[in-house]
Amino acid sequence: MIPRSYLYVPGNDQSKLDKALSRGADALIIDLEDAVPVSGKETAREAVACWLGEQRPREERNVEIWVRVNPGDLGHEDIRAVVGPAVTGVMVAKAASAEELEVMDTVLTEAESATGVTTGTIGVVPLLESAAAVLQAERIAAAPRVVRLQVGEEDLAADTGIAPGADQRELAAIRSRVVLVSAAAGLMSPVAPVSTDFRDLEAFRASTTALARQGFVGRACIHPAQIDVANDVFTPDERTVAASRELVASYEDAVSQGKGVLIGADGKMIDEAVVRRARRVLALAR
């Protein structure tokens, strides 16, 4: 199933780590980057590694666990410490080029081998947090292990001088670019960016709904209060799920009879593109 919510959890806060899996998010992002000061990187890394060692293997859980690692050599140290059976993948902070992800692929392969994890199973989500990263998005999307993209809009705004208004339309072109790049590369739809205002849940719902319409699937959350909203927005209703399930079944039956398209009960044509949308609905169903 596709995660509907990703909760950021500071890697240097043991109490939040201990509660993280019970918060209701479909995925966690254990943060070793922005949440942790430079002086506390090593201590946080050790604490996260210990916590991960206490978790069940990823195949035995309904909640994905991602670790946001630092860029560069510091991130390589993070990977060597945290990779193990409990980890779904790593989110690479301030990813700027395909070349650095190729190096990271080598580090991940070594870490998988050292911990008995099947080679190539740890996924990568690059965070595009600069103008350079957005302009390199196609090459980054094609790098080894990349399964999704995510935009770090706070850092991006600081890098570019963009000052988003209430409707955030200033970011619309960048968001659309990342959605298009993801689709062209055959990746999962990108994760919707965070909202730093966790108190205004009505605004969070409105922006999450708008991002869903724009092609994002799932949203990063900085506070547990945002989780239920993200889960609700990205959960299709029962009628939509039933209709999608029927559509997929009808199409697969038609294909088995040598047909490429069929006409639905409403008189509209059903082809592979329509079925892909229906399958996405089913992947989000709970």
Q: What is the pTM of this model?
A: 0.89
Last residue of a domain, one of 233, 257, 275: 233
Q: What is the CATH number of the domain that holds 113?
A: 3.20.20.60
Dist. CA 252–CA 279, nearest whole Å: 12
**Residues 216 and 81 grouped into a single domain:** yes
- Residue 117 sits in the same domain as residue 257: no
Residues 230 and 179: their CA atoms lie apart, in Å, by: 18
Give Cβ neighbours of residue 14 (< 8 Å, ≥ 6 apart). Answer: 47, 51
Judgement on whether residues 115 and 254 belong to the same structural domain of the protein = no
Asked if residue 268 and residue 178 are part of one domain, the reply reads no
Same structural domain, 105 and 183:
yes
User: Do 227 and 242 fall into the same domain?
Assistant: no
Domain span including residue 106 = 5-233
Burial degree of 266 (CB within 10 A; 0-12, 13-18, 19+)? exposed
Q: Are residues 216 and 257 in the same domain?
A: no
Residue where a domain terminates, one of 213, 233, 253:
233
Bridge partners for 219 per DSSP:
5, 192
Residue 182 sits in the same domain as residue 249: no
Number of separate domains in the chain = 2
Print pLDDT tens along the chain (286 aa): 899 999 999 999 999 999 999 999 999 999 999 999 999 999 999 999 999 999 999 999 999 999 999 999 999 999 999 999 999 999 999 999 999 999 999 999 999 999 999 999 999 999 999 999 999 999 999 999 999 999 999 999 999 999 999 889 999 999 999 999 999 999 999 999 999 999 999 999 999 999 999 999 999 999 999 999 999 999 988 887 888 787 787 777 777 777 666 776 666 667 677 777 788 788 888 7
